[in-house]
Amino acid sequence: MILPMACTHGVGRVVTTTDGILSTPAASHLIRTSSGCIGGIILSASHNPGGPEEDFGVKVNGANGGPAPEKLSDAIHLATLNLESYAIAEAATVCLGRPGRHQLGTTAVVSAQVWAHLP
């Protein structure tokens, strides 16, 4: 869902992981180490209430990899309350099963392996 919406709205580059699955700390690392990254959207089954059963969360992290400031989160939430419509590109499926670069309309999709080296 995120990739077709990003494509529709002119996002130039999306960086994700192989299979699109990673932990929140790994997402933070990916955001901080991706050149030119201004932030990230994390879809999670978590304690962050969302969805019909309040078991699905959307986290927005800033360029520093940490949670977006509350002021920004509040502004995003307010904007969602005023949506009258949204657009999703009808685009080809992008295989995230292995690392690589893909093109989805005008959006470059980079599927990367993320490794955290622990001391």
Q: Where residue 28 sits, what CATH number does that domain have? A: 3.40.120.10
28 is catalytic: no
**Which pTM was predicted?**
0.74
pLDDT tens track for 10-27: 888 888 888 888 888 888
- The answer to whether 59 and 48 have CB atoms below 8 angstroms apart is yes
Q: What is the pLDDT of residue 117?
A: 46
**Domain membership of residue 80 as a residue range:** 2-112
Please check whether residue 117 lies inside any domain of the structure: no
**43 Cα distance to chain centroid:** 7
Q: How many domains does the chain have?
A: 1
The two tokens of residue 69 are: 């400031």
Say which residue, 65 or 113, is predicted with more confidence.
65
pLDDT band at 28 (very low <50, low <70, confident <90, very high): very high
Q: Out of 34, 35, 44, 46, which one is annotated catalytic?
A: 46
**Domain-located, residue 118:** no
